[in-house]
Each structure stands twice: as structure tokens, then as C-alpha cells.
Copies of this chain bind each other. A is one copy, B any other.
Amino acid sequence: MKFTAMKAELLSAVNVAIRAVPAHTTMPILYCILMEASGRGLTFTTNDMEMGIETHVNASIEEEGIVAVEAKIFSDIVRKLPDEMITVEADENLAVNIRCGKTKFAIGGQSGDDFSYLPNVERETEIELSQFSLKNVIQETIFSIAGNENNKIMTGELFDVRENVLRVVALDGHRIAMRRVPLEGENEPVRVIVPGKTLSEIGKILTGEIDDRVRIFFTRNHMVFEMEKTRIVTRLIEGEYFNVDQMISSDYETKVTVNRTSFLSCIDRATLFVKEGDKKPIIIDIEDGYLRLSIESPLGSMDEELDVEKEGRDLTIGFNPRFMIDALRVIDDENVTLYLVNPKAPCFIRDEAGSYTYLILPVNFSR
């Protein structure tokens, strides 16, 4: 096998492919990028058995063939080479030579025989959206998935297509993040649970450009993300997702509108007194015209007043500041509106258009 490509091309393909290289695996071949040079061009494939990536590389092929190289070392070599033409060549013993100008690297390759190729997925149901929208919707929800595996379903996100709207939901038992993205054309209903880890890697691969499209195909057990040069196949999480509609209510007793960045920096300041893993809540007093945030700790105390527009009853309520910060950070609006019922009931942050809904459970506090 032998091909030649510009460093920038090779590097961007490697940076995509490496996202599906597992950190730990019992199958050493999965630490590799499979390089296939054929009549159809050059493709790099990786697979951690939950997610697989296949990406096309702009290269000129001088000899067809297949070889697997360790992703980490190959990526390091490409990164450190000068910004010039790179030639990669594997001989019959799978010794791989990488040449660039007067630099020559030699590493050992492996045969692709044991490699786990990507499953061939039927293209049944399909949606299409911009890479900008998909990247955003992942960033705006992914922090709400559960970190531990006690409840497998909570480690994934719901992708729910209904009435030509994609609804993406993440929840961890303390909070819910929900975003709605309108879709073009007519779309069949779908409801699947996508592993959070996969989504977070996909988020890093997506360009985030509004003009770049991504097509998503759904089957019973898999989902495929197809971009210009790259195809990502992920397994789905089996099971029935929570009935989120039941958890979300539009009743409220108190409605407060506050400047988002002021509120965010105010909570951020309060976290000075919250140590990692500490469950100390921030306490928010809502009265006519202002919101007072306060926190007490052995290190010291803080309190701050913010101007707000308020409707309904006065209220004092406690929150985990982390959850509030996570939600406020991914909202774009200048002002946010909080809907509250009482100190034991969830707080909702949502916009009028219904494009986002964040639910945060309050925390008990004593004064």
C-alpha cells in the first residue's frame, strides 16, 4: 500500500478517526486506525465497538492495500511533521514508512484481518440538519446526562422526532435538559436513546458550520451520522426512555426574569465557597423587583442583589449552583425566565418559543 497526501489533510482525517479509538480495550487491534487504499480512494476506519468512524482522506493512491497502524503514534507522527506532502507506504511485512521531505519514520503495522469493520446499516428513517444545529443541541444538553452507569438509560440522550421537530433530552435524576430543533420536510416519527459518550465525540467532529449538513439514519439498533467525508455508526441504548412530558409542567406561582450574564456571574462568585463534591446550596430570595442570592460557608459568606422582573408570590429556594450554571451557560438569550412553584418543586427555565426547557430540582436548606 502506498499513498501521498498533504499533512493538513492527513491530520484532519486522523483527528476525526481517533475519536473512536478506545482508551482501554481487550482487543489491541482497536487501538489502530485501519487505512484502506483502493480504487475508491483512501479511508481511515476506527471502532471502539460502541461507535465506529469511517472517514475519507484526500490522497493520491500509488498502490492499493490495507494496513492497520496504532492510532496514537501515527497521529503524533503526522502532527509533528512539517506542513508538506507526506508519503505513507506499507511493505508485504506490514512495515510502515512515513516520509516527508528528508524525514523518515518507520513503525510496525498490523494486518486488518482482525479489525472490526463498521456494520452495514440499512438507511431506513432519516433526518437532516445543519452541523451547526446538531453541534449546538449536543452541547446544550449533554451536561445533564448521568455520569455513572447505574442507570444505563440516563447515560444516553433521547432523540425524539415528532411532528417534524427533533427533541433532544438528557436527564440525570436531578435535572432535565431539553432542546427542540425544527426539521425541514416531512419526517417519520422516531424515538431512540443515543449513548452520551458517542454524542460527545460527535460534537467534537462536527464543524459547527451552518452550511455543512449532516444526515442521520435510524434503525432498530443503530444510528448513522453521515457528513461529507465522514460516516459515524453508533449502537443505540436499549430500553424505554422516561416519559419526560409527564415531568414537565407549565404551572407556576412565581415568574422571574433576570439578565442571564449577571445571574451567571453572581452564581459563579458564590461557588468560591463551594468545594468540589460539596452539596452546599445557594439560597435565592425572590421579592418584588429583586433577587437576593446568598451563601454561607466556614470560609466566608457572600450575598448579592440582582434587579429582576417578578410576577407572583415571594419565594425562598435553594439550588445546587453547578446545575444552575450549566443551564445558564448554554442559553444564548440576554434574559432568562425562571418559573417556580414552591421551595420543594422543580424550577423551570424556558423560553416562550419552547426551543429550550431546563428543569432543576431544588435542594433543601436550613437557615
Binds B, one of A22-30, A128-136, A211-219, A301-309: A301-309
A104 near B: Cβ within 8 Å?
A: yes
Question: Once bound together, how far apart are the Cα atoms of A73 and B273, in whole Å?
Answer: 9
Question: Once bound together, how far apart are the Cα atoms of A265 and B108, in whole Å?
Answer: 23
Q: Shortest distance in angstroms between A256's beta carbon and chain B's nearest beta carbon? A: 16
Contact B268 A102 (CB under 8 A): no
Task: Give the contacts of A78-104 with B (CB-CB under 8 A).
Answer: 80-82, 102-104
Known A-B contacts: A73-B272, A77-B272, A107-B299. Give 19 more (CB < 8 A).
A73-B300, A76-B272, A80-B268, A80-B272, A81-B269, A82-B265, A102-B304, A102-B305, A103-B266, A103-B302, A103-B303, A104-B302, A104-B304, A105-B269, A105-B301, A105-B302, A106-B301, A106-B302, A107-B300
Q: A81-B269, A265-B82, A269-B81 are in contact. Are A304 and B76 (CB under 8 A)?
A: no
Question: Once bound together, how far apart are the Cα atoms of A81 and B265, in whole Å?
Answer: 8
- Which residues from chain B contact A302 at a C-beta distance below 8 Å? 103-106
Q: Shortest distance in angstroms between A118's beta carbon and chain B's nearest beta carbon? A: 27
Using CB atoms, name the residue of chain B closest to A262: B82
Chain A interface residues (CB < 8 Å from chain B):
73, 76-77, 80-82, 102-108, 265-266, 268-269, 272, 299-306
- Which residues from chain B contact A272 at a C-beta distance below 8 Å? 73, 76-77, 80
Contact A103 B300 (CB under 8 A): no
Q: Which of A80, A106, A303, A306 has the most B CB atoms < 10 Å from its CB? A: A80
